[in-house]
Structure 1
Amino acid sequence: MISKAGLAVVDALSTGREATPRDLATETGYSQAHIYEVLDGLLDAGLLIERRGPNNQRQVRVAAHPVNEAYRTLHSELSHVDWATLLSPATLNVCWFLDDPRRVSEIAERLKITRQSVHKALSPLKNRAMLSSSGPKYAASNNLAPLLAFAQAIVTHEHRSRAREYAPSATVEWCDPNRALVRVQTTEDTDALLDAPDWQVTALGRFEEYGLQFFLAGEPAFWYAPDEELTPAEVVCHTLVLNSGSRRVSYAMLLIEALDINQETLTDTATWYDLESTVAAMYQVLQEGVEDSDESPVVLPSEAEFRALKEQYGVA
């Protein structure tokens, strides 16, 4: 996660100008020694570009990077706010959850921090009247879409960098501050993540563990969520996030049937992936045998198609 000092440097360079470490130390108020450390980290992360000026002096500028583009948009659309002072890593993490109204306890549980820590992270936004409240729930005000986009860019960059330490072809398909779903393109990268700590095969590649084996066209997907159990409900959601075509929907329904996954449990998990309506439609078919309709959020199998799939894989 980008530090406050790192954000101050990005802010100072957001207009596209070049600057020396001495210039940046003067503008941000951080020591020149600390600025050197910050610059090294930002260069390693691909956020900055460096060249040597007269007398071999370091000159840096922002790179063409999604994080920098998101910050430039935030700065241009809401230029009256001193974002470099206002935002901290903790506040950016909490911002990921503010697209919908959420309870502080819900955010705390998801981030595995205390409610007090969430309130502390929210306080800079509360003090600037940037939050809209709905009872005990908080969400970002309507005009703060650029802030949410910047928080998402930061979180995605963090997970992409982590995955690419092992697998250079990795791309992030979904993430929150503590979790990430990624795809890779090569068998070498698959092998690397299979051997890496904290990474697990998920989605269709995980079905074999439950007695359902399918041909994988390409490499399996991987899940990063340290110290958390990968549940069947998560596997169903990952399958649908990666591909919501009719075959994948059928396979997800097959896993629900094979493991008798509780609808409430799956719906609670699906909330984080914006899949609640998809899950509801799937259970409607499973429980009531309703045919596909134009109003369904996904293409669902007919009763006959799904019955044949169950027979093929021996699911009662």
Structure 2
Amino acid sequence: MLTKAGLAVIDALSTGREATAAELATEIEYSQVHLYDVLDELLEAGLLAERRGPNNQRWVHVTDHPVVEAYRTLQSELDHVEWADLLSPATLRVCWYLDEPRRVSEIAARLEITRQGVHKALSPLKHRAMLSPSGPEYALSEDLSPLLAFARAVVRHEHRARVRALAPSATLEWCDPKRALIRVQTAADTEALEAASDWQLTGLARFAAYGLQFFLAGEPAFWYAPDEELTPADVVCHTLVLDSGSRRVSYAMLLIEKLDIDQETLTETAQWYELESTVAAMYRPLEGAFDVSDDSPVVLPSEAEFMALKEQYEVS
């Protein structure tokens, strides 16, 4: 996660200027020793670039990295706020969930922190009247969409950097501050993630663990959520996020049927992936209503197709 010191450096250089570590240390009031560590981290992450001046002195400047560009947009559209002073890693993680009104308890559970921790992260925004309270729920004010975009750019960057250190071909398909769903393009990257303790096979590749073996065209998908159980409901949602074509929808329905996944449980999980309407549509034929309306969000199998699939995979 981008640290406060890292954000202070980006803030100081966001106009496109160059500076030395000594100049930045004076300007943002961090020691040069600490600044060198921060600069090295930002250089490695691709947020900064450097050139060498006389006596091999380092001059650094920001790149056009998505995090930097999102911060520049935030500055230009809301230039009356000292964002580098206001934002912390914790505040950025909480901001991820403020695209719609949410309860503090809901955010705390999703981030696996205390409600007090969420309130503390929100306090700088509360004091600046940046939140829109709706009963017991909070969301960012409508004019703060650049802050949400910046928070999401930071989180996505963190996940990409983490996985690409192990699997350079990885692409991010879905994430939140603590979880990520990714694809890889090479067998070597698949092997690397299979050997990494924090990554688990998911999507169609995970069906084999439940007695359903399918042919995979290409490399499997992986899930990052350390110390968190990967549930069948998660696997169904990952399958649909990765491919919502009719064949994958049929396979997801087959897994629901085989494991008797409760609709309420799956819907609760699906809300984080914006799949509630898809899940509702899938349960109608599972309950015997195969006459699909024209406004269905996904293409569902006919009764004959689904019964044949169940017979093929011996799902009763």
Question: Please, what TM-score do these two structures have when normalized by structure 2?
Answer: 0.98
Write the mapping of 1:81-96 to structure 2, written as runs, cut at 5 A: 81-96=81-96
Alpha-carbon distance in 2 for matches of 1:143, 1:17:
28
**CA-to-partner distance for each residue in 1:210-265, whole Å, 9 max, x for gaps?**
11111111100000111111000000000011111111111111100010000000
1:198 aligned residue: 198
1:267 aligned residue: 267
CA contact (8 A) 1:292 1:301 kept: no
Alpha-carbon distance in 2 for matches of 1:166, 1:13:
30
1:133 aligned residue: 133
1:173 aligned residue: 173
Q: Secondary structure at the match of 1:72?
A: helix
Alpha-carbon distance in 2 for matches of 1:260, 1:297:
22
Q: Secondary structure at the match of 1:152?
A: helix
Write the mapping of 1:276-287 to structure 2, written as runs, cut at 5 A: 276-287=276-287
Q: Secondary structure at the match of 1:36?
A: helix
Deviation at 1:12, TM superposition (A): 0.9
Alpha-carbon distance in 1 for matches of 2:133, 2:252:
36
Alpha-carbon distance in 1 for matches of 2:157, 2:298:
30
Q: Secondary structure at the match of 1:134?
A: coil
Q: Secondary structure at the match of 2:105?
A: helix
Q: Which residue type is aligned with residue 297 of structure 1?
A: P
Alpha-carbon distance in 1 for matches of 2:116, 2:137:
15
> Which one is further off, 14-23 or 238-247?
14-23
Q: Which residue type is aligned with residue 130 of structure 1?
A: M
Q: Secondary structure at the match of 1:214?
A: coil
Identity in percent: 76
1:187 aligned residue: 187
Are residues 1:157 and 2:126 paired?
Answer: no
Alpha-carbon distance in 2 for matches of 1:83, 1:258:
51
Are residues 1:49 and 2:30 paired?
Answer: no
Alpha-carbon distance in 1 for matches of 2:30, 2:16:
21
1:253 aligned residue: 253
Alpha-carbon distance in 2 for matches of 1:76, 1:296:
41
Alpha-carbon distance in 1 for matches of 2:12, 2:294:
51
Q: Secondary structure at the match of 1:80?
A: coil
Alpha-carbon distance in 2 for matches of 1:245, 1:292:
16
**CA-to-partner distance for each residue in 1:48-105, whole Å, 9 max, x for gaps?**
1011012221111111211111111111111111110000000001011111111101
Alpha-carbon distance in 1 for matches of 2:309, 2:207:
15
> Which one is further off, 197-206 or 49-58?
49-58
Q: Which residue type is aligned with residue 185 of structure 1?
A: Q
Alpha-carbon distance in 2 for matches of 1:222, 1:13:
36
Alpha-carbon distance in 2 for matches of 1:131, 1:307:
50
Structure 1 runs of 4+ aligned residues shifted over 6 Å read none
Deviation at 1:290, TM superposition (A): 3.2
1:117 aligned residue: 117
**CA-to-partner distance for each residue in 1:104-134, whole Å, 9 max, x for gaps?**
0111111111100100000001111111111
Q: Which residue type is aligned with residue 120 of structure 1?
A: K
Deviation at 1:291, TM superposition (A): 2.6
Deviation at 1:278, TM superposition (A): 0.6
Deviation at 1:271, TM superposition (A): 0.6
Alpha-carbon distance in 2 for matches of 1:82, 1:29:
15
Q: Secondary structure at the match of 1:182?
A: strand
2:239 aligned residue: 239
**Stretches of structure 1 lacking an aligned partner (at least 5 in a row):** none
1:68 aligned residue: 68
Alpha-carbon distance in 2 for matches of 1:310, 1:143:
50
The total of aligned residue pairs comes to: 316
Deviation at 1:305, TM superposition (A): 1.4
